[in-house]
Structure 1
Amino acid sequence: MKKEDCFYLGKIVSKYSFKGELLIKLDTDEPDLYENLDSMFVDLRNNLVPFFIESSQLHKSDLLRVRFEDVDTEADADALIKSDIYLPLDLLPKLEGDKFYYHEIIGFKVSDVNFGHVGTVSSINDSTAQVLFEIDRDGTEILIPLNDAFIVKVDKDKKEIILDTPEGLIDLYLD
């Protein structure tokens, strides 16, 4: 399994017991969707390795307590701490309406109600305080905040996003 075919679910943050149990901090708004998985991929030295789950249960709000098969000791568990956890993309719940996952909109065409055609979504930058659309306009990068107030429509069938951005925002990148 390749990372691009998966989504990030969370990170192993600590041991839970002396018998190899681990706590995974889930990066989701709906942790209960992931309580009864059969397996997950652990990122070990940039390789996704499948681990089968013997038992799991939610622990506090966003922590999943997991016991993997063949992880029976503290040393086994220690080797996995701080590892990222991934699941195949087909396990993501489907989103309705204008809601989307960031990976879904890469390559979508972007238009603005006042400006017209802006460009194509090249990526989503979520490493800053404000999540940004990174839009390629013929080699020029345009950054637009991913703000619900700016999004008029997301058409998944036509692979198009229509925005209504503040006047002059797009022009800042073109002068």
Structure 2
Amino acid sequence: MDIDPSALLEDESERFFLFIELDALPIPFRVLSYRSKRDLALLRFAEVNNSDEALRISGCKLYIQSKYIEDEAELNNPNRLLGYHIIDKKKNEVGEIVSVDESTINPLFELCLSSSKDKKVLVPAAKELIIEIDHSKKTIELNIPSGILDL
């Protein structure tokens, strides 16, 4: 999961909360600051004021609202994008994702083309090609390599 806590803490008008599972319930904790250390993020919560309180939440499950997770995390499970429509960088609809081929090292979206419903093409599902994912519209804006739709 890719999250950039610095971006979350920049906007003072919106408080950022993580939910920590305590006694089987998700309890909101307001994040005051963070510090990265290798592959860890050290967080400071408004509700934690001493080492005993910190030990109580240490090792507990953390929950975060999905709106704070970067879109590239979707590529960890590209099948969640089935039914999404691919749009090119000129905002033209290219087609719909009908399956995902994960048999290769790099996953591929199989698209049913909008221009010809009986024609299907494979397009790389590489995060470097994704411009934007809009979950509300179920669209993915993709920088499609030239000529790939002609194969």
TM range (shorter): 0.3 to 0.5
Q: Which has a greater percent of helix?
A: 2
Instruction: Answer 1 or 2: higher relative contact order, Cα 8 Å, separation at least 6.
Output: 1
TM-score between the two structures when normalised by the length of structure 2: 0.48
Q: Which has a greater percent of strand?
A: 1
